[in-house]
């Protein structure tokens, strides 16, 4: 029968504990500066929330794939990105979406031909403006 070694043969490594503690603290501070963002489903759309502070960064993003893409960009970036202008495009998208619903209802229910024609022209303008806002939202 073969006898196995019962004692440890390699020595304990001596680590520089203060140096390792400083490195770990620096890593934790860098992660805390970046922020952690998550996507939450709301009505309407999706919100991006800073997970640490529970603060809404961007609200009512209309499409889930765009919300996930923006979330990935925010989580990967080392510096804080400005999203103020981006929120205005989202608000403009929902404004024209609501206007389109109103104009469609006016066209369907109105008996006055002048109202129908003016609502039709405004409908086309709102559709164009909503598509423009959608393109701005897609290209973050």
Please state the domain extents for the chain. Answer: 20-81, 83-140
Tell me how far apart the 2 most distant CA atoms of the chain are, in Å.
105
Mean pLDDT (whole number) for 51-79? 89
> Using 50, 70 and 90 to split pLDDT, how confident is the model at 136?
very high
Mean pLDDT (whole number) for 135-139? 90
Q: What angle do CA 90, 93, 98 make, to 5 degrees?
A: 130
HSE value, Cβ hemisphere, 13 Å, CA-based, for 29: 6
Cross-sheet strand order for the sheet of 55-61: 37-41, 46-50, 55-61
Mean pLDDT (whole number) for 76-91? 83
Euclidean distance between CA atoms 14 and 25, whole angstroms: 20
**Total-model pTM:** 0.72
């Amino acid at each position: 029968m073969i006898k196995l070694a019962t004692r440890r043969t390699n020595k304990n490594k001596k680590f520089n504990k203060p140096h390792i503690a400083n490195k770990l603290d620096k890593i934790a501070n860098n992660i805390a500066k970046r922020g952690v963002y998550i996507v939450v489903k709301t009505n309407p759309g999706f919100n991006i929330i800073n997970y640490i502070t529970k603060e809404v960064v961007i609200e009512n993003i209309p499409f889930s794939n765009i919300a996930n893409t923006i979330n990935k960009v925010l989580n990967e970036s080392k510096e804080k990105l400005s999203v103020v202008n981006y929120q205005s495009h989202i608000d403009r998208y929902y404004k024209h979406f609501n206007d389109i619903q109103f104009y469609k209802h006016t066209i369907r229910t109105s008996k006055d031909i002048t109202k129908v024609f003016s609502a039709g022209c405004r409908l086309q303008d709102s559709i164009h403006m909503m598509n423009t806002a959608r393109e701005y939202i897609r290209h973050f």
